[in-house]
Amino acid sequence: MIIMSEKYIIFSGPSGAGKTTLVQHLLTAMPELGFSVSACSRKKRKYEADGKDYYFIPAETFRKWIADDAFLEWEEVYRDHFYGSLKSEVDRIISAGKFPLFDVDVVGALNIKKHFGRKALAVIVVPPSLELLKTRLTARKTETEEKLKLRLEKASMEMASAEEFDHVLVNDDLEKAKTEAEGLVRNFLVLSKQV
């Protein structure tokens, strides 16, 4: 009989660094992981699905859930634009016999790491340079020049927090980064057998 120890996997990093791509790879390669769907109060984008990409809830409801202590962590990124990780998501994943995997911003990642301590592996995914990050974000063609500037400023601040993470994964080659991410997570997840 395999006994699961309590473990949590957190991936973070600046927008455009590749963390979501790596998280999607991990979910495909490692069925023992369960994705923690975050909640947010922003409007759903055309390509997003409620309950899959995020739980889209009104800001008023988000505030009520904060008051009801429903979140493991939360943040008001912009006025009335809340993001957070629901405690119920962690319960759902653990009940399914899986390890929770978070894809969150740097502040959220550090808050989750602080909450779970050594039971959590916190990985920050960073680009080789801010110049390359700018190239990646520009190639998306989803940002105005002003938003691009804000994202790069935020990325610079987020990368300055790298030393607070358990591991810094430099994504300069996607296949290599996938292998490294998988290795980090597999090494962290220790399954013990009970006779």
Domains of the chain: 2-190 (3.40.50.300)
Residue 124, SS3? strand
Our measurement of the distance from residue 182's CA atom to the centroid of its chain's CA atoms, rounded to an integer in Å, reads: 15
Distances (CA, A) of 113 to 6, 27, 67, 84, 90: 13, 20, 22, 14, 14
- At 195 the pLDDT is 29
- At 4 the pLDDT is 55
- At 194 the pLDDT is 30
Would you say 166 and 123 are in contact if contact means Cβ atoms under 8 Å apart?
yes
Residue 68, SS3? coil
Residues 175 and 93: their CA atoms lie apart, in Å, by 27
Q: Which residues contact 59 (CB under 8 A, 6 or more apart)?
A: 41, 80, 81, 82
Read off the amino acid at residue 2.
I
Q: Is the confidence at residue 190, as pLDDT, over 90?
A: no
Distances (CA, A) of 32 to 13, 36, 48, 141, 157: 23, 13, 24, 35, 33
Q: Is the confidence at residue 132, as pLDDT, over 80?
A: no
Confidence band, pLDDT 50/70/90 cuts, at residue 3: very low
Percentage of the chain modeled with pLDDT above 70: 94
Q: Is the confidence at residue 193, as pLDDT, over 50?
A: no
Confidence band, pLDDT 50/70/90 cuts, at residue 183: very high
Summary mean pLDDT of the chain: 89
The mean pLDDT value for 107-114 works out to 95
Residues 155 and 150: their CA atoms lie apart, in Å, by 8
Our measurement of the distance from residue 140's CA atom to the centroid of its chain's CA atoms, rounded to an integer in Å, reads: 20
* Range of lowest pLDDT (56-65, 141-150, 166-175): 141-150
- At 20 the pLDDT is 92
pLDDT tens digits, one per residue of 142-160: 677 887 787 788 888 888 8
